[in-house]
Chains A and B, each alone.
Chain A
């Protein structure tokens, strides 16, 4: 067992993990942080996405030991003080059906919109191309992002 400590959603956590424990499993099963989901388990679907030092990553492909001393942010952290503006636009546009892809979509977009505050539609599509949604056909998701981009700060 290895002892690791990291910042999870702004709070320090310390625990013992096995070297082969995945970050996703540790977040969900040991720390009770259930927003990252297990989808494909190989980095293709994006539903396990979390922010590692501010960058979106696949928690199913990261060993928990690797995040010792790092900062992890999940959807729980992003919406700690209530829904984010982006989440409100997702609700406005009914952007989800089953919702399984939602945490990964929002987390990926949080990073992307910070880097690129005024994207065009093609850039939004590229940014979420690693987040699969099997319900919506992506149209209401893209609509929500574009509406949010248009209206925020205005």
Chain B
């Protein structure tokens, strides 16, 4: 289907041009990078931008770099660039594993992590890992720069703290300072393109510290703070896992839709919590299923 809606196309060469364009057009503009979400939204008639701003010509937005303590992911970095980066695989295996679960090769060649968080759909695969690593979103506008913790970025389905003349410059992901193991468990119908019915990210740090976040089972991806509180300070055991599973229903609020029922999602979230916790602890201890291998 061709696109019926008409718009103007701009491709700024640097950040100053981008900032000016956004300031001029504000909510009438939409930023285009991978287009895997925006183009579909325009085709479907959910978005009617007067201006589409392609940011792929701005070199510094394509940076993916690690300085020893922090990983910077520029706005136009694609999921496949993240997956193919050895540092990400070695230092941020949770991010790597969740990036690998995104759609299919042809989509991951275009779709960006920044676009994923800006679309802010409840099922976003990059959500749990960024929430768990306590990533920081760097926002820019004519007024300057501000940084927002990932845990404060989402306001609702397709709603974020982004103002109309702001854009995401990139995301900073701090390196956890202790030995750790992690897992991203995704429930979907098939591999390619499928959205998560339940997504669960888990990070276990040495000294029995746990971080858990979910997606697709609430209006926004979020941390499971009650479960974290229960687990923190305790070594993982079968009885502890059982207690944690009991808290799942307090943490998540899934809906029934065409992809899965509410009951199924709750049931599977418990199964996934158990498998994900065990896998994360095993991986921290250098055993268990390798990263990237499906846990469900």
A: residues with CB less than 8 A from B are 2, 18-22, 25, 38, 41-44, 46, 49, 52, 55-58, 61-63, 65-66, 108, 111-112, 125-132
Tell me, yes or no, whether B3 is within 8 Å of chain A by CB: yes
A-B contact count (CB 8 A): 97
Q: What is the CA–CA distance of A22 and B39 in the complex, to the nearest angstrom? A: 9
**Chain B residues near A43 (CB, 8 Å)?**
36, 40, 103, 106-107, 193
Query: When chains A and B are docked, how far (Å) is the Cα of A129 from the Cα of B37?
Result: 19
Contacts A19-B9, A63-B35, A125-B191 given: A58-B106 contact, CB under 8 Å?
A: yes
How distant is the Cα of A44 from the Cα of B56 in the complex, in angstroms? 23
In the complex, the answer to whether A111 meets B105 with C-beta atoms within 8 Å is yes
**Are B192 and A61 touching (Cβ within 8 A)?**
no
Interface residues of B in 75-117 (CB under 8 A from A): 80, 103-107, 109-110
Q: Which of A20, A56, A62 contacts B35 (CB 8 A)?
A: A62
Minimum distance in angstroms from B193 CB to a CB of chain A: 5
Chain B interface size, as a band, is: 20 to 34
Which A residues touch B1, using CB under 8 A? 38, 41
Indicate if the CB atoms of B9 and A58 lie closer than 8 Å: no
With A43-B40, A62-B35, A62-B39 already in contact, the answer to whether A20 and B6 are too (CB < 8 A) is: yes
B110 touches A129 (CB 8 A): no
8 Å CB contact of B40 from A21, A42, A46: A42
**Segment 32-47 of B: residues with Cβ below 8 Å from A:** 32, 35-36, 39-40, 42-43
Out of B2, B6, B52, B106, name the residue touching A25 (CB < 8 Å). B2
Q: Determine whether B250 belongs to the interface, using a CB cutoff of 8 Å to chain A.
A: no
A127 to B191, CA, bound (A): 10
- Chain B residue with Cβ nearest A111: B105
- Among A42, A108, A127: residue with most chain B CB under 10 A: A42
Q: Is the CB of A58 within 8 A of B191?
A: no
CB contact under 8 A between A46 and B3, given known A2-B9, A61-B40, A66-B54: no
With both chains docked as a complex, state the minimum distance between the C-beta of A131 and any C-beta of chain B, in angstroms. 7
28 of the cross-chain contacts (CB-CB < 8 Å) are: A20-B5, A20-B7, A21-B2, A21-B3, A22-B2, A22-B3, A22-B39, A43-B103, A43-B107, A46-B104, A46-B106, A56-B106, A56-B109, A57-B109, A58-B110, A61-B39, A63-B9, A63-B32, A65-B9, A66-B56, A108-B105, A125-B191, A126-B191, A129-B104, A129-B105, A130-B105, A130-B192, A132-B192
The 7 tightest CB contacts between A and B, nearest first, are A130-B104, A129-B192, A129-B191, A19-B9, A130-B192, A20-B3, A55-B109
